[in-house]
Homo-oligomer: A and B are copies of this chain.
Amino acid sequence: MASRQSNGRSTGRRAVTMNDVAQAAGVAQSTVSRILNDAPVPIPVSQETRARVLGIANQLGYRPDPIARALRGAPTMLLGAVVRDITDPFFAVAVEALSIEAKERGYSVVIGHARAAADEALVLTAVLEARHCDGIVLLGDFHRERHLVEDLRKTHARVVGLWHGTWLDSPFPTVGVDNAAGIRAALDHLTSLGHRQIAFVGAEMFGDEQARQRAYREHMAQIGHPAPAGYVHVTSNTIDGGRAALAPLLALRPRPTAVITATDVLAMGVLYGAYECGVGIPGELSIVGFDNIPMAAATVPGLTTVAMPMAEIVGAGVELSVGTDRWAGDGEVPHRVFEPPLVVRGTSGPAPA
């Protein structure tokens, strides 16, 4: 009975421990532990004391201390999420989905930013691995953050990368989307509407960007319309970035009749820019986005876009990290890819004559 108040939280009320329960019940603390944990195998517990202890524990409002349990090796049931830019609507939705999928498996999500800690990977590790997360999910492409990756490899947590883009030799399992198939679907949709002059607006920061841009170029060449100079416009992945991309695109000759964007955020920017410039959508210009973020359904007109199979991808990621079918760590590193369906809404229409 050394320090009694020095240890207390600021609110004063000390938590009820097993010892308290044991003392109140007049039994040993180990007995309480057995009863409360439903003694796995050893030997039957007397129904009498069992009921008494359970009653007292309940009455005293006993709650097991997960920290003490974790110290004994129990999983923390914490899933870390490393997200580069939580301001990006896409990643916001991803965090939502992650939180939901994690919860279904009894896990809680801890959010960690990467932006400021890009240099000092230690900081991030101290924030996540140090929290003893059972698993860590990387949201986006981090293969340029070498320090981070190095640190993550040393960690005990099960790391899984989502949307790692072109980084297919990742040391961690990855789950992503078939960017090429998505872009192809978008292009096929546009060509079937008569479009031939199709531009592309991309963003550097996005991990899957390279794959999407490459797929665009390849497929354009395949259909006999290799992208002319200026048809690929790279900007920042923001509404404003997309908005500013429109003017230079419309100045091109031949003038594009359709635009595919690497993300819905860019598409919304282009859409807004078109509204400002008085360009009719889809009359004068068709737009196809990528991701199908929630607001894509509420733009005017609704945004035609390649739909990210969000639940599937995030679900697979959580499963690989902390699920019952998690990767054992042996054999080949698994890389899962999901196919994105095209969602046709109002921003795509027949090519102008």
Contacts and interface: CB of A to CB of B under 8 A. Distances in A.
B156 A11 contact: yes
Contacts of A52: none
Contact of A127 (B13, B95, B108): B108
Nearest to A301: B275
Interface in A84-101: 86-87, 89, 92-93, 95-96, 99-100
Interface stretch (A59-67, A160-168, A186-194, A213-221): A59-67
Q: How large is the interface on A (under 10, 10 to 19, 20 to 34, 35 or more residues)?
A: 35 or more
A133 B93 CA distance: 24
Given A67-B67, A108-B111, A108-B112, A299 B297 contact: no
Contacts of A112: 108
Contacts of A158: 10-11
Copies of this subunit: 2
A253 interface: no
A111 B109 contact: yes
A225 B96 CA distance: 42
Nearest to A275: B300
Contacts of A86: 96, 99-100
A100 B92 CA distance: 13
A108 to B, nearest CB: 5
A294 interface: yes
A259 interface: no
A271 interface: yes
A78 B269 contact: no
Given A66-B131, A99-B86, A268 B113 contact: no
Interface in A269-319: 269, 271-272, 275, 294-295, 297-301
A103 B113 contact: yes
A68 interface: yes
A20 B248 CA distance: 62
Contact of A300 (B65, B68, B128, B271): B271
A331 interface: no
